[in-house]
Chains A and B, each alone.
Chain A
Amino acid sequence: MNLKRFGAPAVIAMTAALALSSCAANEGGSGDPAASESTLSGTLVGAGASSQDSAQQAWIAGFQTANPDVTINYDPTGSGAGRDTFLSGASDYAGSDRAFNDEEIAAGGFAKCAPDTSIVELPLYISPIAVIFNLEGVDSLNLDAATIAGIFAGDITNWNDEAIAATNEGVELPDQAITPVHRSDDSGTTENFTEYLGAAAPDVWTYEADGVWPFEGGEGAQGTSGVVDAVTNGTGTIGYADASRAGDLGTVAVGVGGEFVEYSPEAAAAIVDASPFVEGRADGDLAIELDRTSEEAGVYPIVLVSYLIACQEYAEPENVELVKAYLSYIASPEGQDVAAEAAGSAPISDSLREKVTTAIDSIQ
């Protein structure tokens, strides 16, 4: 007679039981041993930057297909949480939009790593950030850093402003208000974008680089998808987002050393090669000091470099081979191409790959 009281949960349990008897058609585990000679097995857990997520999913898919007994989970919890998770030892590797800084490395305490060893930081995900806009009849604009900064700071409020017209001869600019759209969440994209503005147009952009938009003004939107949606659905809007998501929206060619450079994977990879490594780091630590003001030809300066972070020496040896194999796959031309296709990232150059490979080999 208590049936009625437990009716609803019983029903749920029954439905669940029905669902449980089914199975995912694409998950056979290692049912097809002939397909691979891989001897790797185990589970890797990574966490960190959501910017890398699409690329991570592609890498995981590629790696798991080649090694059917391996399961890799990547949690796109965000760079800060990813670094914390790695620090606490809850993940085997981290993805982060910035490298650990000197103080954090000096403090140490990486729980997964052997005591008193350093960490390996690999810049394996380079993503150009496009400045996108939605303006009827205009597909591309040439803007220098000062103008971009002026627009996002709210100093330039109309599309027919002289500063915009000066670098865009022949483009018909409408008399329309500009709605700048920025990320309302804390993000590496915003941090890199504001860092660029601060470095390239220090007179106009006086705010510090930060993952949170530094002042009240313009329109906020959540995540890359939110910004793209807001720019697409609005009129006279301009925003910044991962270049892979620019789609049909107009994009800005950014002024570098007197020329205007459209974003492209090559131009984005070029800025990384043109920038020095952070000084005073351990051998495997390839943290990069991006040179935003570089005047070299063909360099696209608004990029987000996201790192994969692992231990130099793991305290427990069980997953070392797996980590090395996975990172090697990511660094390989194949891995970089997979990410480029899935996430629109810029493949790393061969010279960088050499250094990365050395660093991966040193992991133990």
Chain B
Amino acid sequence: MTTAAAPIRAKQRPGDRVFSKSAVFAGSMILVTLAAVATFLIVQSIPALFADSEDASILDTNFWAYVGPLVFGTIWAAALALLIALPISIGIALFISHYAPRRLASALGYIVDLLAAVPSVVFGLWGIGVLAPAVQPVYSWLVDNLGWFPLFAGPVSGTGRTILTAALVLAVMIIPIITAISREVFLQTPVLHEEAALALGATRWEMIRTAVLPFGRPGIISAAVLGLGRALGETMAVAMVLSATGAVTFQLLTSVNPSTIAANIALSFPEAYGINVNVLIATGLILFIVTFAVNAIARWIVARRAEFSGAN
């Protein structure tokens, strides 16, 4: 506090220097950590990339044939989850920030935040014990009545533990994340923008569409990416809920479902030994790359829109 009294000079103050240096240091720590993780992953992965079924018992032919269906399953499950979660999360965030009575809203926001803390194991337990039996009749009905639609082709799973159920569980897991960030961003919308819109005679929805959503768009995308990151990397819940058989199929309601990379690591790692471990770590590297690609695309979208967003 004493430095505040220092005379105004053009040269840097010691406080500034210390502060900016420590900020740079923190940034570099990220660099170091990441370099360490990346080195570890790559070094461990190299033996797997060139392995065949003779070296590693879990490979049928080679590594790429092994990881292909898993990549498909990972993206498919996460995309379904995001498709379900994003509109609902934006809805909840808007409800909390602009629709619900203020006093009720903060309590609701609090409840939603809490759900981000439920351990994935518990989501898994809930998925097996509560959700899957509950949605199974719906799946039967969908297969019977809408079976002509390719996604809903039969035969229906007898337990309801399909990729759609896994996506639903994932959606429930990422809703709190997306909601919390979107809500904060919506609340930061400049009140002047909102009042200006309302003063021009806009309805509440028109105000949201013209003032809140454009302002919040980068935030929403950031939130969606964080959610997607969790959905892509989610391990235990998917491993427990999904009936994974490793097929490549778009069908949502059958027993035969693609597995995801993270779930597959959790399922196979405990009994893995020798080069099989390297194969699994290499699939982790692939997951890392997939997630990164998704992130990069989202960043690019945010950057492209930044100048129109209204945020400074």
- A interface list, Cβ under 8 A from B: 1, 50, 76-81, 83-84, 177, 179, 181, 184-188, 210-213, 216-222, 226, 229-230, 233-237
Say whether A230 contacts B159, CB under 8 Å.
Answer: yes
Is A185 in contact with B271, judged by CB distance below 8 angstroms? yes
B255–A233 touching, CB < 8 Å: no
What secondary structure prevails in chain B residues at the interface with A? Answer: loop
Of all chain A residues, which has the CB nearest B267?
Answer: A185
Assess whether B271 is in contact with A219, with CB atoms less than 8 Å apart.
no
Cβ contacts A to B, 19 pairs, < 8 Å? A1-B1, A76-B270, A78-B272, A80-B273, A80-B276, A81-B272, A187-B271, A212-B58, A216-B246, A216-B247, A217-B256, A219-B157, A219-B158, A219-B159, A220-B242, A220-B245, A230-B243, A233-B129, A234-B159
Question: Which B residues touch A81, using CB under 8 A?
Answer: 269-273
CB-CB < 8 A to B274: which residues of A? 80, 84
Residue of A nearest to B1 (CB): A1
A179 touches B271 (CB 8 A): no
CA distance A218 to B274 in the complex (A): 29
Known A184-B243, A212-B268, A216-B256: A230·B161 in contact at CB below 8 Å: yes
Q: Which of B's residues lie within 8 Å of A, judged by CB? A: 1, 57-58, 128-129, 132-133, 155, 157-161, 239-240, 242-247, 255-256, 259, 266-274, 276
C-alpha spacing A236/B155, complex, angstroms? 14
User: Across the interface, which residues of B come within 8 angstroms of A212, CB to CB?
Assistant: 58, 268
Closest to B239 in A: A222
Residues from chain A with a CB closer than 8 A to the CB of B157 are 179, 219
**Sample of 17 further A-B pairs with CB below 8 A, known A212-B58, A218-B255, A233-B159:** A80-B274, A81-B271, A83-B273, A84-B274, A177-B158, A184-B239, A184-B244, A185-B239, A185-B267, A188-B271, A211-B271, A220-B245, A221-B243, A226-B128, A233-B132, A234-B159, A237-B158
A2 to chain B, nearest CB (A): 11
Taking a contact as CB atoms under 8 Å apart, the answer to whether B159 and A237 are in contact is yes
Max chain B C-beta neighbours (<10 A), residue from A179, A187, A222 = A222
A235-B271 in contact given A219-B243, A226-B128, A230-B243 (Cβ < 8 Å) = no
Which of these, A185, A186, A187, A236, contacts B158 with CB under 8 Å?
A: A236
Chain A residues with CB under 8 Å of B259's CB are 184
Q: Is the CB of B245 within 8 A of A184?
A: yes
Chain B residues near A230 (CB-CB < 8 A)? 128, 159, 161, 243
Report B58 CB to chain A, min CB distance, Å.
Answer: 6
State A81–B267 Cα separation when bound (angstroms).
13
Bound CA span A210–B59, Å: 12
A235 touches B158 (CB 8 A): yes
| Contact residues in A for B270 (Cβ distance below 8 Å) | 50, 76-78, 80-81, 185-186
Cα distance, A211 to B157, chains bound together (Å): 24
Write out the residue numbers on chain B whose beta carbons fall within 8 Å of the beta carbon of A221: 161, 243
Cross-chain contact B245 with A233 (CB below 8 angstroms): no
Q: Which residue of B lies closest to A230 (CB)?
A: B159
For A83, list chain B residues within 8 Å (CB): 273
Q: CB-CB < 8 A to B1: which residues of A?
A: 1
CB <8 Å contact, B268 and A186 = yes
Closest to A215 in B: B245
Inter-subunit contact B158/A179 (CB<8 Å): yes
Whether B129 and A218, one on each chain, are in contact in the complex, defined by CB atoms closer than 8 angstroms, is no
- Considering the complex of A and B, which 5 residue pairs feature the smallest CB-CB distances, nearest first? A78-B270, A80-B273, A234-B159, A186-B271, A179-B158
Q: What's the least CB distance linking A213 to chain B, in Å? A: 8
Tell me which residues across on chain B come within 8 A of A219, comparing CB atoms: 157-159, 161, 243, 245, 255
Chain B residues with CB below 8 A from A50, complex form: 270
